[in-house]
Amino acid sequence: MRIKRKDIGDNLAWALQSLPLFDDLFLGMQALNLGIAHEFLMGIERELFHDLIEMEQTPPNTIFVSAMSQLWVFGLYELLRTWRQRAGEVTNFAAKASRTTSINRRRLIAAKKREILSASEPLSGQFRWSQFKRVAASSTKSGQIRAAIDRYELLFRRLEALRVSLAKHELPKAHGTPAMPAMAPGYCRIDPSTGSIRWEFLLQGREVDVLTRRDIAEQCVKLAKHTKRPILSIEMQKKIEQFPRATWHSYGVHKLVVRLRDGTEHPGVFVAWYKEIVGIQGRHGIPFKVEDIVSIRLQ
């Protein structure tokens, strides 16, 4: 079942199903499941909020709401992780196909089809193959997938850090670094304005992030409705990826100086996870177009 645009409101299932590749039946089913669970949790969060006001202390059903909220977080994280992995496979194949000659390209596509269909049961295989087939035929499709990955990067990374704290009782870490214990993993409070479960979790460098379950769901819907984000070009992203981890200004964030086409420079530009401008020191909003950035350097 796919949710129609006219029925969206703040519908989480629609927001997830609107992502590229969610025409896959089984990804769509999981999006619907998470949407149904979200509506259920919204109901018990309202009850929790009412009980909190009436009792003026932590209600007994907080434990149940916390448990269900954690499981919902795990489910959403795994769905987005699976989607990102598949999106990467599809776009990498599209890039490889675009670099080959027409004859070799046809052979490459035929070999990929055999590989997918032989490794999957028939129905799943057909859904998977249709996605590879579409991006091989259209560079526009591949670009739409990459844009969606970039748009969801910041939310996914925050969700990833929360999931590591809740499930592994560890801080998020870089590859090769030792695991560090999380701060009070699983401990939560009730958001006083919504009744949603609220987590405070430690990041690298003693930095703390705060998320409620409602925040996460609302961000998914917002990202589906408002797709224009200050995302850097792929060329700029690759340059930032070359900076060592030790140059992070805060968790996943670089502080940069950007140079525009007209020669002007803007210092104090904060870029999260190599991709999205999340703020400029001393300014409200972004006074330039990201498309006009021609060079970057660390500040």
Per-residue pLDDT tens for 190-236?
999 999 999 999 997 789 999 999 999 999 999 998 888 999 999 99
Please list, in sequence order, all residues whose beta carbon lies within 8 angstroms of the beta carbon of residue 65, skipping any fewer than 6 positions away: 41, 44, 45, 48, 195, 197
Q: What is the mean pLDDT of the chain?
A: 91
Mean pLDDT, rounded, for 54-70? 95
pLDDT at res. 27:
93
Question: In this predicted model, what pLDDT tens digit does every residue of 68-79 receive, in sequence order?
Answer: 999 999 999 999
Please give the Cα distance from 165 to 186 (Å, whole number): 7
Mean pLDDT, rounded, for 35-61? 95
pLDDT at res. 5:
46
> What is the band of 1 on the pLDDT scale with cuts at 50, 70, 90?
low
Could you tell me if 49 and 62 are in contact, meaning their C-beta atoms sit under 8 angstroms apart?
no
Look at the alpha carbons of 227, 143, 162, 174 in this order and tell me if their dihedral is positive or negative: negative
Q: Regarding predicted confidence, which is higher, 1 or 239?
A: 239
Cα-to-chain-centroid distance, residue 147: 12
Mean pLDDT, rounded, for 65-91? 96
Question: In this predicted model, what pLDDT tens digit does every residue of 100-119 receive, in sequence order?
Answer: 888 888 888 888 888 888 88
Mean pLDDT, rounded, for 237-243? 94
Sheet strand arrangement including 293-298: 276-280, 265-272, 253-260, 293-298
Could you tell me if 148 and 226 are in contact, meaning their C-beta atoms sit under 8 angstroms apart?
no
Please list, in sequence order, all residues whose beta carbon lies within 8 angstroms of the beta carbon of residue 169, skipping any fewer than 6 positions away: 181, 182, 185, 186
Rounded percentage of the chain residues whose pLDDT exceeds 70: 95
For residue 19, how many C-alpha atoms fall within 13 Å in the half-sphere facing its CB? 32
Pairing of the two strands 276-280 and 265-272: antiparallel
pLDDT at res. 61:
94
Could you tell me if 17 and 2 are in contact, meaning their C-beta atoms sit under 8 angstroms apart?
yes
Least confident of 18-32, 62-76, 126-140, 267-281: 126-140
Please give the Cα distance from 30 to 26 (Å, whole number): 6
pTM of the model: 0.90
Question: In this predicted model, what pLDDT tens digit does every residue of 25-38 receive, in sequence order?
Answer: 899 999 999 999 99
For residue 109, how many C-alpha atoms fall within 13 Å in the half-sphere facing its CB? 20
Mean pLDDT, rounded, for 274-298? 95
> What is the band of 4 on the pLDDT scale with cuts at 50, 70, 90?
low
pLDDT at res. 158:
96
pLDDT at res. 175:
59
> What is the band of 2 on the pLDDT scale with cuts at 50, 70, 90?
low
